[in-house]
């Protein structure tokens, strides 16, 4: 097997880690729409702990993706740059929209937790993530330009 094949394997493994960890966080975000309770705090903690999966997964995706772009001489192709732009925009948008969850994790009182969670927009986050993922997979598989 070639180095490129191994990198593609680890790239996809990073994607699996990212989607598994981030999927748990996304699922928890939809469950956090009810009244604040002990379960709310547990879901916020679960959401925080899944970062141990999805951030390393994202790092593996980025490192192997850049490495494969060099090995495949893809830097002259527009799809690579489009994928980078989509990834950066998605990360920026989702990080900004996820602020209420970060603030809720740090909140001391149930009232503050509830106030922050009332600002959360899990549906919008899910749509941004789904569209970005679809665009990224499309760009990498189809390599349209």
Query: Who's near 115: CB < 8 A, 6+ residues apart?
Result: 107
Q: What is the pLDDT of residues 46-70, one digit of tens each?
A: 988 998 899 999 999 999 999 999 9
**Per-residue pLDDT, 115:** 92
Q: Region 22-47: what's the mean pLDDT?
A: 88
| Phi, psi (rounded to 5 degrees) for 24 | -65, -40
For position 33, what pLDDT does the model report?
78
DSSP category for residue 73: T
Cβ atoms of 64 and 14 closer than 8 Å: yes
pLDDT at 10 over 90: yes
Could you tell me the residue ranges of all domains in the chain? 3-142
Q: Is the model's pLDDT at 99 over the cut of 90?
A: yes
pTM: 0.88
């Amino acid at each position: 097997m070639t180095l490129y094949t191994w990198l593609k394997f680890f790239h996809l493994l990073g994607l699996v880690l990212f989607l598994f960890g981030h999927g748990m966080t996304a699922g928890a975000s939809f469950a956090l729409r009810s009244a604040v309770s002990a379960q709310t705090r547990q879901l916020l903690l679960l959401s925080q702990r899944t970062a141990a999966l999805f951030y390393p997964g994202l790092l593996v995706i980025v490192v192997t993706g850049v490495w494969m772009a060099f090995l495949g001489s893809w830097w002259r192709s527009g799809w690579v740059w489009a994928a980078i732009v989509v990834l950066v925009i998605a990360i920026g948008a989702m990080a900004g929209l996820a602020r209420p969850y970060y603030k809720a994790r740090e909140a001391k009182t149930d009232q503050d937790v509830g106030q922050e969670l009332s600002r959360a927009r899990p549906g919008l986050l899910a749509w941004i993530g789904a569209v970005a993922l679809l665009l990224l997979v499309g760009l990498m598989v189809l390599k349209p330009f």
